[in-house]
Homo-oligomer: A and B are copies of this chain.
Amino acid sequence: MTELVGGVVPPVCTPLTTERELDVPSLERLAAFLIEAGVHGLFVTGSTGEVAYLTDDVRREALEVVAGVAAGQVPVLAGVIDTTTTRVIEHARAAKSSGADALVATAPFYTPTHPSEFYGHFRAIRAAVDLPLVGYDIPVSVGSKLPTEVVVELAEDGTLSALKDSSGDLDGLRAVLERTEGFQCYSGSETLADLGLFIGAHGLVPGIGNVDPHGYLRLYEAARRQDWDAARAEQARLRKLFELIYVGDARMGRYSSAIGAFKEGLVIRGVIAGATTSEPMIPLNDAERAAVRQRLDEAGLL
């Protein structure tokens, strides 16, 4: 079984054709681009990958494409994102057949599930499919936070191999790090990545790492050698770049703006063919696309 070993693991964007079908050549180029940059893993069908917008078929196809390009060079993590246990397990089985090296699952959502029920949820997934399981803490999507004691207990009994923390709660992340041993913690924050590493997180899952993987790799390496000045300087550059997510904020909300901007950035950098996003996301307009280009220019990516 491939081991999770931290590092930079971008949540891979899912390029779409103008008819909103999977753009396979673009996805292949994107996976290759990231691997060549030196990333330590690829996270497919995560939130940045528009997982909640993709049919089961497209999820599977995207995973197969990326697993094919990765070909064992780096582990491929698959988001198995659905409302509750039984539905997640179906995705987990499919992901295993499609080549996933590890699974990433959230707490139940839509249903007002109680934290006391989280244990059974993750244990049932782990028992059903024999792959390392990563707990995905993303309160903005799920509506509840994974409590520290739940994560710690599931780490101790081997249910969870890792945590992907997109909660923004560095205090909580620190508590998990203090109370576990050999349990891999990934920070999902683009703008506090240096702080995540400073407190001991093992890896990063930055959405904008699609557009600038080299930046996050430099940041990660600086942190590994405890060169905090370099880490902070790189983070400062990446924080500035990250502001491209706000280009369409006023018209469409932050998520659609961010996903649209990441994809546009990949188009500008010549990695993918088009910036189409899923229904019902509002697409960026010309002015917003120009603003993305300017941010890339300022960050030295053109």
- Chain A residues within 8 Å of B, Cβ to Cβ: 20, 47, 52-55, 81, 83-87, 90, 108-114, 116-121, 124, 140-143, 168, 170-171, 174, 178, 189, 191-192, 195, 198-199, 226, 228, 232, 236, 239, 251-256, 278-282
Question: Are the CB atoms of B281 and A87 closer together than 8 Å?
Answer: no
Please pick, from B81, B110, B117, B174, the residue contacting A282 in the complex, using a CB distance under 8 A.
Answer: B117
Given A112-B141, A171-B191, A195-B198, A280:B53 Cβ within 8 A: no
Beyond known contacts A86-B279, A195-B198: 5 more, CB 8 A cutoff: A53-B86, A110-B142, A116-B251, A118-B280, A195-B195
Please pick, from B111, B232, B254, the residue contacting A255 in the complex, using a CB distance under 8 A.
Answer: B111
> Considering the chains assembled together, what is the distance between the CA atoms of A102 and B1 in angstroms?
47
* Number of identical monomers bound together in the oligomeric complex: 4
CB-CB < 8 A to A279: which residues of B? 84-86, 120-121, 124
> Considering the chains assembled together, what is the distance between the CA atoms of A178 and B141 in angstroms?
29
Q: Name the residue among A113, A124, A143 with the largest chain B CB count within 10 angstroms.
A: A113
CB-CB < 8 A to A195: which residues of B? 170, 195, 198-199
Q: Name the residue among A81, A119, A170 with the largest chain B CB count within 10 angstroms.
A: A170
CB-CB < 8 A to A86: which residues of B? 20, 53-55, 278-279
Question: Are the CB atoms of A252 and B116 closer together than 8 Å?
Answer: yes
Question: Are the CB atoms of B170 and A256 closer together than 8 Å?
Answer: no
Question: Are the CB atoms of B178 and A280 closer together than 8 Å?
Answer: no
Q: List 15 A-B contacts (CB under 8 A).
A: A55-B86, A85-B279, A110-B110, A110-B141, A112-B140, A112-B255, A114-B252, A114-B253, A116-B251, A117-B281, A170-B170, A178-B236, A195-B199, A198-B232, A226-B228
Cβ distance A241 to chain B, nearest Cβ, rounded Å? 13
CB-CB < 8 A to A109: which residues of B? 52, 109-110
Please pick, from B87, B116, B253, the residue contacting A53 in the complex, using a CB distance under 8 A.
Answer: B87
CB-CB < 8 A to A117: which residues of B? 252-253, 256, 280-282
> Considering the chains assembled together, what is the distance between the CA atoms of A113 and B117 in angstroms?
27
CB-CB < 8 A to A178: which residues of B? 236, 239
> Considering the chains assembled together, what is the distance between the CA atoms of A256 and B84 in angstroms?
13
The chain B residue with its CB closest to the CB of A253 is: B114
CB-CB < 8 A to A52: which residues of B? 83-84, 87, 108-111
> Considering the chains assembled together, what is the distance between the CA atoms of A199 and B47 in angstroms?
28
Please pick, from B84, B253, B281, the residue contacting A280 in the complex, using a CB distance under 8 A.
Answer: B84
